Chains A and B, each alone.
Chain A
Amino acid sequence: MKKIVIALLLIGLVITTSIIFLKPTEKEQSNISLLKAKYSKKHVPSVDHSKFAILQKKFNSPQDATAACISCHTERHKEVMHSNHWNWEREEYVQGRGIVYVGKKNAINNFCIGVEGNEQSCAKCHIGFKMTSSMTPLTDPTNIDCLVCHDNSETYAKGNELAGAPDKAVDLNLVAQKVGRPMRSNCGVCHFFGGGGNNVKHGDLESSMFEPSADIDIHMSPETSNLVCVDCHTSENHVMKGKVYSLSSMNRNRSTCEQCHTETPHDAEILNEHTVKVACQTCHIPVYAKENSTKMAWDWSTAGKLKNGEPYTEEDSKGNHTYMSIKGSFTWADSVKPDYIWFNGTADHYLLGDVVNDTTKPIKINTLNGSYADRDSKIIPVKIHRARQPFDPVNKMIIQPKLFSDKKGEGALWIDFNWLRAAKVGMDEVHLPFSGQLAFVRTEMYWPINHMVSSKENTLSCNQCHTRENSRLAGLNDFYMPARDYSSIVEIGGKIIIILTLLGVMVHAGIRISTKRKSKKEVHNEI
């Protein structure tokens, strides 16, 4: 009988432990290998542009080059002129506002605030030429800058403050003969430097992404898949997939991880379950600004200090500007852990002229909507850029100041250093009132983090969120999360019950032992 019992026990043990410790057999990652095969195929262009006679004829202006493009690609300019890259504006439906046109014309940010009145300088990143005056739509298709996106020679560059025209030194013929599918550098030259310097705005898009190491971006690294921007941000008729919620409002035409990886890419089912509420980026981008610092805060209120009547700049040890007379003080950070928010793909924006009555808490320049209870929401990582920026306390509006001018006396802050004048001129140009009073308010801007994806070995582990101390999701309190959350009443009550039980057992045992000794003694004495 004993043997049977022991055998049974052993069998039970073996079965349970083997089930528990049996590692799941590694599923073949067919999806990943298929994707790798697909994207390792080199793109072979169907034509060699250097063989076209029209591109060998000397171009006297950038418009000549564009005209040459259009002479063959006869309809493409129409597509471009309908695109966001050209119009800097989208028709959006925003809850509470209805149909609105949101773009650089009326939406602002908390970096250089806005383009209105500053076009000459901002046009360096417009895909057109001749953006001289306020943003009247350019109607001449030869003002499209085809080359800035399609140059594959990496010699094209826009000039400084030339209203979008290329630098004088660029050999337009050479560039036109070497056009092709956009490379990382074509997109990066604008998108990596938004806000006036490398990695100022995004945090996850910066110059290291031209040739990132596998640690920086597992997709775009030449060491791995070597993807270019347009591999994910595909386009149809020059409309690119994907947009950033500094300007976009609607949940449409997004570029997603799922478009390649599906919604359930993990071997472990428990991880696939997470994708219902957690965006891929949340776990797979543990830190952003991996190589170079990104700007975390901008205080405009300190701008305007001069040394010996001259503007100056200060830098930190990494060469980041910490103070500029023209812009104020900055805070930078690198290898930043993102903040996390619920996001359902829709956003609202502060639009020029919006009145804000409550300035006790920071004004949200863009509001990303979402909550746990919202079925469309997922947790996403964001960079929150905080600022103090000019505000009219009487009219209760954020001020669009006039910043740039090439001449003194036009009211531009960056040359005249007079806040009140810059505010007046700037607000005049956007046809908004200015009371003559200027204050500085705190603002926040939310930048979803989508790039700098880490290898799967470097993704977040469970206990970076599922933990009592320093959970990455400590700020999201509208739901119960195992390990992070508990009921303090149950926790304390449970501890008390267990301690009382232990005490009771110990006291009971103690009395038992001591009375037993006594009775033994008594027996002994009797003898």
Chain B
Amino acid sequence: MKYKVYIYKAFERFWHWTQAILIFMLAATGFEIHGSFTFFGYQNAVKYHNVSAYAFIVLIVFAIFWHFSTGEWKQYLPTASNLKAQINYYIFGIFKNAPHPTKKTVLSKLNPLQKLVYLGLKILVIPVMVISGLLYMFYRYPQKDAVESINIGSLEVVAIVHTIGALLLIAFIITHLYLITTGETVTSNLKAMITGYEELEDEKSSKEN
């Protein structure tokens, strides 16, 4: 038996969509700064990139607070159980109309693969991007009248790390956008992230499964 569950809370959705907009902005401006294309104009790209970066950092601070104050952080604890089944589902089961191996519930809304990938984003890719980004913004050329020890000899390492992170995020976004369509119906995941409500199976019946 299915019924509507309020699964994504208001802040969660606000965080998600704001983050989506900011990452889109950061990617568009960032790759212009990287020299991949011209769109905003270089100086504007730098300006918008910096503003978006600060906005993103503010958002991250709020998100961290939210995760800990609500206990939602536990959603991201990795688990090995069902991991293989989930991989098998995406490689085989999905084509045979097999059921999702992991049942979505309010207390456990991420499947084991999602847990792993999102945790990786949260504790590895995003922090690396924020730190390398801040170094990029505030790094000091070898310059006169300066404290020698805070001069950074070259921007190269900082810039390359930042670029690697950006490329990984692009790959993530492509996959993410596609996997949205693999819910109960093609649009059910998207609807859930917009409205907060998703039709889930009864927790009892899911346990019986």
Whether A1 lies near B196 (C-beta < 8 A) is yes
Q: Which of A181-189, A412-420, A461-469 contacts B (4 or more CB under 8 A)?
A: A461-469
Partner of B34, one of A20, A483, A509, A516: A483
- A515 in the interface, Cβ–Cβ < 8 Å? yes
User: Which B residues between 140 and 198 are near A, CB-CB below 8 angstroms?
Assistant: 141-144, 146, 151, 153-156, 159-160, 163-164, 167-168, 170-171, 174-175, 178, 181-182, 194-196
**Contact mask for chain B residues 82-117; partner A; CB cutoff 8 A; 1 contact, 0 none:** 000000001000111100000000000000000000
Whether B25 lies near A375 (C-beta < 8 A) is no
Whether A467 lies near B35 (C-beta < 8 A) is yes
Closest to A483 in B: B35
User: Which A residues between 164 and 214 are near B, CB-CB below 8 angstroms?
Assistant: none
Q: Bound state CA distance, A516 and B185, in angstroms?
A: 12
Whether A480 lies near B159 (C-beta < 8 A) is yes
- B47 in the interface, Cβ–Cβ < 8 Å? yes
Whether B10 lies near A16 (C-beta < 8 A) is no
Whether B35 lies near A468 (C-beta < 8 A) is yes
- A276 in the interface, Cβ–Cβ < 8 Å? yes
Q: Bound state CA distance, A498 and B18, in angstroms?
A: 24
- A376 in the interface, Cβ–Cβ < 8 Å? yes
- A53 in the interface, Cβ–Cβ < 8 Å? no
Whether B14 lies near A9 (C-beta < 8 A) is yes
Whether A490 lies near B167 (C-beta < 8 A) is yes
Task: List residues of chain B with CB within 8 A of the CB of A12.
Answer: 14, 17-18, 21
Q: Bound state CA distance, A373 and B182, in angstroms?
A: 53
Q: Bound state CA distance, A498 and B167, in angstroms?
A: 8
Whether A2 lies near B195 (C-beta < 8 A) is yes
Closest to A500 in B: B171
Majority-rule SS of B interface residues: helix
Task: List residues of chain B with CB within 8 A of the CB of A373.
Answer: 142, 153
Partner of A466, one of B6, B35, B164: B35
- B132 in the interface, Cβ–Cβ < 8 Å? no
Q: Bound state CA distance, A467 and B154, in angstroms?
A: 19
User: Which B residues between 27 and 46 are near A, CB-CB below 8 angstroms?
Assistant: 33-35, 38, 41-43, 46
B154 shortest CB reach to chain A, Å: 6
Partner of B10, one of A8, A463, A493, A505: A8
Whether A497 lies near B168 (C-beta < 8 A) is yes
Q: Known contacts A490-B164, A501-B171; is A16 also within 8 Å of B22 by CB? A: yes
B130 shortest CB reach to chain A, Å: 17
Q: Known contacts A277-B141, A512-B94; is A482 also within 8 Å of B21 by CB? A: no
User: Which A residues between 479 and 527 are near B, CB-CB below 8 angstroms?
Assistant: 479-487, 490-491, 493-494, 497-498, 501-502, 504-505, 508-509, 511-512, 515-516, 519
Task: List residues of chain B with CB within 8 A of the CB of A8.
Answer: 10, 13-14
Partner of A376, one of B34, B144, B163, B181: B144
Q: Which of B10, B142, B170 has the most CB of A within 10 A?
A: B142
Closest to B167 in A: A494
Partner of B160, one of A466, A490, A508: A490
Q: Bound state CA distance, A508 and B94, in angstroms?
A: 10
Whether A276 lies near B174 (C-beta < 8 A) is no
Task: List residues of chain A with CB within 8 A of the CB of B42.
Answer: 461-463, 466, 483
Whether B156 lies near A480 (C-beta < 8 A) is yes
Closest to B175 in A: A501
Closest to B90 in A: A508
Whether B143 lies near A490 (C-beta < 8 A) is no
Q: Bound state CA distance, A294 and B171, in angstroms?
A: 53
Majority-rule SS of A interface residues: helix
Task: List residues of chain A with CB within 8 A of the CB of B141.
Answer: 276-277, 372
Closest to B146 in A: A375
**Contact mask for chain A residues 260-298; partner B; CB cutoff 8 A; 1 contact, 0 none:** 000000001010000011000000000000000000000
A474 shortest CB reach to chain B, Å: 13
B190 shortest CB reach to chain A, Å: 14
Whether B14 lies near A519 (C-beta < 8 A) is no
Whether B143 lies near A270 (C-beta < 8 A) is no
- B48 in the interface, Cβ–Cβ < 8 Å? yes
Q: Bound state CA distance, A250 and B205, in angstroms?
A: 86
Task: List residues of chain B with CB within 8 A of the CB of A519.
Answer: 97
Q: Known contacts A462-B43, A498-B171, A498-B174; is A482 also within 8 Å of B195 by CB? A: no
Whether B144 lies near A509 (C-beta < 8 A) is no
A284 shortest CB reach to chain B, Å: 16
Q: Bound state CA distance, A4 and B143, in angstroms?
A: 51
Task: List residues of chain A with CB within 8 A of the CB of B10.
Answer: 1, 4-5, 8
- A19 in the interface, Cβ–Cβ < 8 Å? yes
Closest to B171 in A: A501
- A374 in the interface, Cβ–Cβ < 8 Å? yes
Q: Bound state CA distance, A479 and B33, in angstroms?
A: 16
Task: List residues of chain B with CB within 8 A of the CB of A479.
Answer: 154-155
- A306 in the interface, Cβ–Cβ < 8 Å? no
Q: Known contacts A19-B55, A466-B35; is A486 also within 8 Å of B163 by CB? A: yes
Q: Bound state CA distance, A386 and B97, in angstroms?
A: 75
Task: List residues of chain A with CB within 8 A of the CB of B22.
Answer: 16
Whether A480 lies near B52 (C-beta < 8 A) is no
Q: Bound state CA distance, A466 and B44, in angstroms?
A: 13
Whether B154 lies near A480 (C-beta < 8 A) is yes
Q: Bound state CA distance, A62 and B94, in angstroms?
A: 103
Task: List residues of chain A with CB within 8 A of the CB of B171.
Answer: 497-498, 501
- A100 in the interface, Cβ–Cβ < 8 Å? no
Q: Bound state CA distance, A113 and B155, in angstroms?
A: 42
6 A-B residue pairs with Cβ-Cβ distance under 8 Å, sorted by A, are A12-B17, A16-B21, A372-B142, A480-B154, A486-B35, A501-B171
**Chain A interface residues toward B at CB < 8 A:** 1-2, 4-5, 8-9, 12-13, 15-16, 19-20, 268, 270, 276-277, 372-376, 461-463, 466-468, 479-487, 490-491, 493-494, 497-498, 501-502, 504-505, 508-509, 511-512, 515-516, 519
**Chain B interface residues toward A at CB < 8 A:** 6, 10, 13-14, 17-18, 21-22, 25, 33-35, 38, 41-43, 46-48, 51-52, 55, 90, 94-97, 141-144, 146, 151, 153-156, 159-160, 163-164, 167-168, 170-171, 174-175, 178, 181-182, 194-196
Given contacts A268-B43, A494-B163, 6 further A-B contacts (CB under 8 A): A9-B13, A373-B153, A375-B142, A466-B42, A493-B167, A512-B182
